[in-house]
Amino acid sequence: MKIAAFTIDGNGTFAQDVPAFAAAIAAAGADVILVPGTSRVRRSFPAAALRAGAAIDTNAVAVLADGDKVSVQRWAYRQRILTTFTRKARPWIIATDPALFADICASLGVQPEPLAADAEASTRTKINGVVAAGTGGESTIKPDSPLLFVAGAGWTKKQADGATHLDEAAATITGFLAKSGASLGSSKSLVDMPEAAKAFRFMSHMNQVGQTGATPRHAKGLSTCCHGEEPHVVGWRFVNDRRAVNLDANCGWAQGKADILYVADAFAVMKRVNELLA
């Protein structure tokens, strides 16, 4: 049983990568090939595997080897069920979670080798330059940020004076994001709310966190104006330090779903936080 691993850095086009990756699969002569599941790999490796006559699976979180038997673990049903499976097809390409690639290679005792596509492989597509994401406007989704800030529908509710303050809420949230560098998350109820669409233009369904949204992996999370029930917090399972601000001392966050719950007005709390960050 031969296991090989490749790291793929830089940028490339589909037309350049597919023949290069297919050639690398054939040249490796390995039964199992590990690659990190980056966007570039996900775009080109399936076609390369088809060209090379290989099988491919993605989203692996663990790879186990026992003699000639190799099995893969990955999450299913929105990361509620951890499945374990194997394949008889060889070669077998396994695209891992990018963050776990190095650990998986180390556990198998495999040293990854760099794989570079031939820049002259395509005569139809030329790369004139690379434009960084977000240059058309500031992005609120920052996977590398240590902090996830989640806003809920409570920001749109009537406040103590009996009126809504959508513009103030939007300014408070964006002010905190700018000063802290946090990534923005949202509850489904907020991004689905038509009356909030104008004031919260910086937010879309891409920011949605939870059972029907994303499952981020930030080190810390701060939830504001979310009730903290299961549909909200299911997306927080990989956030280690969870804190929440809510006026309801009996909300879902208080039922063991947050490490610390601040029973307070999020408007007042975040306004003060922004002042301290100034």
* 139-186 pLDDT, tens digit each: 899 988 999 999 999 999 998 899 999 999 999 999 999 999 999 999
Residue 271 sits at φ, ψ, to 5 deg, of -65, -45
Domain of 234 in residue numbering reads as 147-277
Return the beta strands (E) in 50-139 as ranges.
55-60, 62-66, 69-76, 81-86, 92-96, 113-114
Specify the pTM. Answer: 0.55
The yes-or-no verdict on residue 127 having pLDDT over 80 is no
110 and 162: one domain?
A: no
Q: Is the pLDDT of residue 132 over 80?
A: no
Q: What is the mean pLDDT of residues 122-150?
A: 72
16-27: pLDDT as tens digits: 899 999 999 999
Give the DSSP H or E segment for 190: helix 188-191
Examine residue 140 and state whether it is found in any structural domain, yes or no: no
Distances (CA, A) of 131 to 105, 128, 135, 243: 32, 10, 7, 36
DSSP label of 218: -
Last residue of a domain, one of 114, 138, 162: 114
What is the distance between the alpha carbons of residues 42 and 263, in angstroms, rounded to a whole number? 44
Provide the CATH number for the domain around residue 252.
3.40.50.1220
Do residues 172 and 80 share a domain?
no
Lowest mean pLDDT among 3-17, 112-126, 159-173: 112-126
